[in-house]
C-alpha cells in the first residue's frame, strides 16, 4: 500500500527535524537519522546526548560551502565591476599592435619553393 501525500509530507518533515537537531549538535546526516523523538525538544535532547556519547560534546557548526576557491587577487576591494576591470588591466597590459603587412608581404607565400625543376 502506497503512502498518502500527507504521510509522505509528515515523513519528510520528521526527517528534516532530525537533520536540523543533529547538525546543531555536530552530528553527521547519517548519525542524525538515528535520533529518536517526535517533538523538536525531544530530538534536540537526543542529539545532544548522542553527540556527548560520541565525544562531540562541544560541537562546531559545519563550515559554509558557498563560493569556492578564491585566488590571492580576490579581496575586499574586488566587489565592483570597475575594480575587476582594473585588476584585469594590471595583469594584462596592452601590447603594441603589429604593423600591417606591406603589399609585397601580402602577395608572397613564404612556404612556396622557388626554382623547382623536374628531374629526368
Contacts of 19 (CB under 8 A, 6+ apart): 29, 32
What are the residue ranges in the chain where pLDDT is below 50? 57
pLDDT reported for residue 68: 61
The number of C-alpha atoms within 13 Å of 52 and in the hemisphere containing its C-beta is 6
pLDDT reported for residue 46: 92
pLDDT reported for residue 85: 86
pLDDT reported for residue 6: 92
> Quick check: helix, strand or coil at residue 101?
coil
The dihedral of CA 102, 104, 108, 110: what is its sign?
negative
Q: For 2, which DSSP code?
A: P
- Cβ atoms of 3 and 11 closer than 8 Å: yes
Q: Please state the pTM of the whole predicted model.
A: 0.45
pLDDT reported for residue 61: 61
pLDDT reported for residue 62: 62
CA 48 to CA 19: how far, in whole Å? 13
pLDDT reported for residue 102: 84
Element (DSSP H or E) covering residue 17 = helix 5-24
Amino acid at each position: 500500500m502506497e503512502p498518502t501525500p500527507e504521510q509522505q509530507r509528515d515523513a519528510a518533515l520528521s526527517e528534516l527535524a532530525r537533520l536540523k537537531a543533529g547538525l546543531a549538535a555536530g552530528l553527521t546526516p547519517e548519525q542524525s537519522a538515528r535520533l529518536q523523538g517526535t517533538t523538536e525538544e525531544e530530538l534536540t535532547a537526543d542529539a545532544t546526548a548522542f553527540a556527548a556519547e560520541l565525544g562531540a560534546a562541544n560541537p562546531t557548526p559545519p563550515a559554509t560551502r558557498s563560493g569556492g576557491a578564491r585566488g590571492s587577487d580576490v579581496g575586499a576591494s574586488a566587489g565592483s565591476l570597475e575594480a575587476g576591470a582594473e585588476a584585469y588591466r594590471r595583469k594584462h597590459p596592452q601590447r603594441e599592435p603589429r604593423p600591417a603587412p606591406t603589399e609585397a608581404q601580402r602577395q608572397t607565400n613564404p612556404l612556396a619553393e622557388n626554382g623547382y625543376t623536374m628531374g629526368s
